Amino acid sequence: MDDPRHREAERLFSQQANRQRTDFVVSSILAAAQTERLEQLVRQAVREELQNLRLAEVPQTLTPDTAVQLKELPGSLIHALEEL
């Protein structure tokens, strides 16, 4: 039980009454599967919307002072769509 996730799962499991453990495991598995399906649906919807997105051309009148610099964006935002 070196994995912290395993220790946490065992702790949650042991907190259940003996008669409720089977139901707890079944509910947990079904909830995880539902979460995974929902995540897949959201990712697909975002992909489709991004494919249909029409970007307007940025006017050339912007100066470097008013334009958003890529280095000012948080790293998580810059790489957010790479997983899609």
Look at residue 52 in the predicted model and tell me its pLDDT. 86
pLDDT in tens, 34-62: 999 999 999 999 999 988 887 776 666 65
Which residues, 6+ apart, have CB-to-CB distance to 78 below 8 Å? 70
- Listed residue (26, 22, 28, 27) closest to 9, CA to CA: 28
Q: 58 lies in a domain?
A: no
Token output for 27: 């509910």
Which one is predicted more confidently, 81 or 23?
Answer: 23
Structural domains in the chain (count): 1
- Residue 41 falls inside a structural domain: yes
* Residue 42 covered by a domain: yes
pLDDT of residue 38: 96
**pLDDT score recorded for residue 14:** 94
pTM of this prediction? 0.52
In a domain, 2, yes or no: no
Residue in 46, 31, 34, 35 with CA at minimum distance from that of residue 81: 46
Any domain includes 48: yes
* Whole-angstrom Cα Rg for the chain: 23
Q: Show the domain range for 28.
A: 22-52
Q: Which residues contact 47 (CB under 8 A, 6 or more apart)?
A: 84
For residues 64-76, give the mean pLDDT.
60
